[in-house]
Amino acid sequence: MRADARVPRTPRAPEGLSRRARYFVEAHGLRVPRRDIRRHRDVWLKHGIPGAEIDRAVAFQELWGGIALPPAPAYEGGPRVLEADVPEGSAANGWRFPAGDCRVSMAHGFMIGPGGEFGIDADHWTPLHASTEGWVEALALAHHAGCWAKTVTKIKGDAVEQVDLDGFEPVPEVQGLADTWWRGKDSLIAIYRGGAVGFAAAHCLEAHIYGGLDVWGLSGH
């Protein structure tokens, strides 16, 4: 298997991330050798995978492939290493490709959707964030908030629906879809709906409330 043999151990954050997320990637991430999936192109084409979908997977691999980030607070930590693989799907249902192997055995996989969404392939496809950048921004914000919050409260199941978001504004950089972040005057709230939506299981709904944050703690910009 051919892989990048000489790569810097410290990843370079892709363009477009916030300062907080760039610091998170470069200070807490690692880059490991990544596979060259371009060599599979002819075989994948023979199996009916459109060239445009192969190009999407290759582009992801060149930008994100081989970057290992600290565990996410949900979904048993997210992908161990960001890594593209063979696209799957159809013209009717859309094409997706893997975003990296799970850290532990899970009932879902991490995928990149037809529009670049980052999500989970559970009982059905569930986009969590509108892009991989959004997923990484959410990881960075969770790490930052966890370092600076005076309290961290975790709520699960139906009780999440009772969380009061009055006076809170959505955090735009996470590009939330099923998962969203909300910023208040002294707290941040992360709501993880992906498992509940993907498995139609309300008990998988989860919220993390980071309280007692100052101005720096609220943004880290």
Q: What percent of the chain has pLDDT over 70?
A: 96
Is it the case that residue 83 has pLDDT exceeding 80? Answer: yes
Q: What is the pLDDT of residue 8?
A: 62
Domain locations in the chain as residue ranges: 19-136, 146-219
Question: Following DSSP, what letter does each residue of the chain receive, concatenated?
Answer: --B--S--SSPPPPTT--HHHHHHHHHH-EE---B-GGGGHHHHHHTT--HHHHHHHHHHHHHHTTEE-PPPSSGGGSBSS------EEETTTEEEEEEE-BSS--SSEEEE-TTS-EEEESSSEEEEESSHHHHHHHHHHHHHHHHH-SEEEEEEGGGGGG---TT-EE-GGG-BSSEEEEE-SSEEEEEE-HHHHHTT-GGG-EEEEEES--HHHHH--
Q: What is the pLDDT of residue 9?
A: 77
Is the pTM above the cut of 0.85?
A: yes
- Give per-residue pLDDT as tens, 141-188: 999 999 999 999 999 999 999 999 999 999 999 999 999 999 999 999
Q: What is the pLDDT of residue 7?
A: 58
Give mean pLDDT, residues 60-87. Answer: 96
Give mean pLDDT, residues 189-194. Answer: 98
Give mean pLDDT, residues 87-116. Answer: 95
Is it the case that residue 25 has pLDDT exceeding 80? Answer: yes
